[in-house]
Amino acid sequence: MKVKRVVIIGALVFVVLVSVLGGAISDRLFGFKPLDFLVKRQTDGFRVNSLEQKILNEESIVISVAEEVSPSVVTVSIKTPQRSVLQYDLFGGLRRRVEGGVEQDIGTGFIISEDGLIVTNKHVVSDSESSYKVVTKDDEEYDVKQISRDPLNDLAILKVDANGLKPASLGDSGNLKVGQFVVAIGTALGEFRHTVTTGVISGLGRGITAGDPFEGSFERLDDVIQTDAAINPGNSGGPLLNSAGQVIGVNVAVAQSAQNIGFAIPINVVKKALDQFNKTGKFLSKPFLGVQYQTIPKDTAILNNVPEGAYIVEVVPDSPAEKAGVKAGDIVTKIDGEELGENKELSDVIGSKVSGNIVSLDIWRDGQTLNLSATLSEFSE
Report strand pairing: 141-150 vs 131-135: antiparallel
Cα(125)–Cα(86) distance, rounded to whole angstroms? 28
CB 167 within 8 A of CB 190: no
Supply the DSSP symbol for 43: B
Catalytic residue status for 154: yes
Q: Is 236 helix (H, G, I), strand (E, B) or coil?
A: coil
Please name the residue ranges forming H helices in the chain: 2-30, 48-69, 267-280, 298-304, 320-324, 346-351
Catalytic residue status for 380: no
Torsion region of 336: left, alpha or beta (phi above 0 gives left; psi -120 to 50 gives alpha): left
CA distances from 125 to 285, 301, 359, 381 (A): 18, 40, 33, 13
Residue type, 321: A
Q: Say which residues have a Cβ less than 8 Å from residue 130's Cβ, sequence separation at least 6.
A: 78, 79, 80, 81
Question: Which position among 150, 154, 330, 362 bears the catalytic label?
Answer: 154
Sign of the C-alpha dihedral computed for residues 326, 331, 337 and 341 taken in this order: positive
Question: Which position among 72, 77, 236, 377 bears the catalytic label?
Answer: 236
Cα(332)–Cα(344) distance, rounded to whole angstroms? 12
Question: Which position among 123, 126, 150, 173 bears the catalytic label?
Answer: 123
Cα(231)–Cα(239) distance, rounded to whole angstroms? 11
Residue type, 354: V
CA distances from 231 to 75, 260, 369 (A): 15, 8, 48
Catalytic residue status for 123: yes
Q: Which residues belong to the active site?
A: 123, 154, 236
